[in-house]
Amino acid sequence: MKIYYKIWNENNPDNPFIKGDGDVIHHIDGNRKNNNINNLQKITDFEHRSLHNKDKIISIETRKKISISSIGKKLSEDTKNKIFKTRMKNGIAKEENNPMYGKNHTIKSKREISEKMKGENHHNSKLTWESVNLIREIINSKEYKNKTIKRKNIAEFFGITPQLISHIKYNKSWAI
């Protein structure tokens, strides 16, 4: 057990640090060697990551690693409440910040919204029409047909799944 865990637990018997409980001990001044009890703070792992990653841009690869490392870990109700309170404080979970909150759309307006959100206009789109046309050119090339170039290679290059390459090929996605 790290020394600052012991220092925390000795000084906070009513609120002990228990490893694996979703909480961490944070060094307020950022100096991990300064284990003075006034420099230690018990916060959730979510709050801790938010503090240290406030202005950092996290790559997609790092996000995937974080996501994979969180698989199977269950949060306590206390941790869930702390996360929710942090999100509320930062304006993330507030209903008034959701532009769709309290709105009802007609079938016609839903279709119009759906049409506007297709293809490269969709917020999760990794492709543009230009890149889709390039993928179609590659799929129709001799190299692809001779299996010199594989779906997997095309997908890795464009940062998408091989399944999406097939969907583009057979016009299930990005239909002409």
Cα distances (Å, whole numbers) of residue 68 to 62, 80, 82 = 10, 19, 22
Q: Do 75 and 59 contact (CB within 8 A), yes or no?
A: no
AA identity, residue 171:
N
- Domain coordinates of the chain in residue numbers? 3-96, 107-169
The whole-number pLDDT of residue 40 equals: 93
Task: Tell me what pLDDT residue 17 has.
Answer: 85
pLDDT in tens, the chain (176 residues): 789 889 999 999 988 888 877 889 999 988 989 999 999 999 888 788 878 776 666 677 777 776 676 666 677 777 777 777 766 666 555 555 556 656 677 888 878 877 777 778 777 788 888 899 999 999 998 888 888 888 998 998 888 999 999 999 988 888 76
Determine the residue type at 43.
I
Side chain identity, residue 89: K
Residue 23, helix vs strand vs coil: strand
Per-residue pLDDT, 39: 92
Global pTM reads 0.39
Rounded Cα distance between 174 and 176, Å, is 7
